[in-house]
A and B are shown apart, each in its own frame.
Chain A
Amino acid sequence: MSAVQDTFARAGVQINRFESIAWRYMRLSGILLIPLVFGHLAIMHVINSVYVIDYEWVIEARWAYLGWRIYDAAMLWLAGFHGALGLRHVIKDYVHNPRWSFALSAAVAAFMVFLLILGSIALIGAPFEPVTGVPPVE
């Protein structure tokens, strides 16, 4: 081992696994999100309209089937991490103060965790049949 390699080894410079995994995740999730998002767009905005989509419709037509819940969960989790990692890159690009950069990245991470928990509660906790007797929201 040369003196230069010794210096690098002592400095503890090793391959950054997190960045490598995050980079691959962005590519894979990006590819998977294309059919998921366009499918979602077609179902919610092209095939059906706001006049059809309501609480009963979501439960009866979609969430009564486990497959649709898995579809929505995949979109939620893939897009959640994809968006957060993307925002992290934007922050790294444009926020040059290390403290602000860390604080904003942490805020994005916290907000993503909140959204994922909220979405997951809805997907797991929603009943498989519409609950009757719920007064309509005015």
Chain B
Amino acid sequence: MKVTLRIRRFNPEHDARPYWAEYIIKDVAPTDRVLDLLHHVKWYIDGTLALRRSCAHGICGSDAMRINNLNQLACKALVKDLVKGDHGTIQVEPILGLRVIKDLIVDMEPFFEHYRSVMPFFVNDNPPPDGEFLQTPEQRARFDDTTKCILCAACTTSCPSFWANGTYVGPAAIVQAHRFIFDSRDTAAQERLAVLSQEDGVWRCRTIFNCTTACPRDIEVTKAIAEVKNAINRGGVD
């Protein structure tokens, strides 16, 4: 099949504003990924195309981009799910809400700044009883979903509240906080809830659900945010 790849390109050294560039790629297999098409453009058509990718298998979270108007990982988006028939167009652009550095590469620093603000690490200075902290399967299940986050930023950059104002901590940071807040072994839940209870914390979430749709790991992001809201309203974790 034949695919027209429409890429939002921008090089701040030459371009006054971003523009759409089109590349026609032949002999595309339906099971090819969008990342394969981007590689084809970069390796055989135009080497100046800039994009991030690392593992190329949906684990590292480097290649989140807006594909056909939905945030996805380029390494997980298959052509057959985007193009019907023998010829079609796939549109690729950088994730929204973050400054574009070049082409599909955005400045992730504001995203990671919010991530760091929620203490995304295990806190417990007590000596482990009998050598390790034990946890029941039920206690583990409480935060299992949010352990799957790969920090690709697909959720945060699909959120209209984040688009409107980047001071909002964003879904990804809340998911990361959720992972530790509901961990029975962690002792800093109150501090994280305090951070997320501020004006730019969880209250900026309007339950639009874009984040849940965008998550390539199928995390129930909006549900996790709601659980954090409820914990704040109750004054702590059960």
A residues neighboring B (CB under 8 Å)? 1-2, 4-5, 8-9, 13-16, 19-20, 22-24, 89, 92-94, 96
Contacts and interface: CB of A to CB of B under 8 A. Distances in A.
Interface string B61-91: 0000000000000000000000000000000
B115 to A, nearest CB: 15
Contacts of A23: 203, 229, 233
A96 B98 CA distance: 16
Contacts of A20: 197, 232-233
Contacts of A13: 191, 194-195, 198
A5 B191 contact: yes
Contacts of A9: 191
Interface string B179-196: 000000001101101110
Contacts of A19: 197-199, 201, 203
Interface of B: 119, 123-125, 161, 164-165, 167, 187-188, 190-191, 193-195, 197-199, 201, 203-204, 229, 232-233, 235
A109 to B, nearest CB: 15
A120 B188 CA distance: 46
A4 B233 contact: no
| Interface SS of chain A | helix
Given A2-B187, A5-B187, 13 more contacts: A1-B125, A5-B191, A8-B119, A8-B191, A13-B195, A15-B190, A15-B194, A19-B199, A92-B165, A92-B199, A93-B164, A94-B164, A96-B165
Residue of B161, B187, B194, B235 ringed by the most chain A CB atoms within 10 A? B194
Contact of B199 (A2, A4, A16, A94): A16
Contacts of B233: 20, 23-24
B174 to A, nearest CB: 14
Given A2-B188, A19-B199, A94 B165 contact: yes
Nearest to A17: B197
Contacts of B195: 8, 13
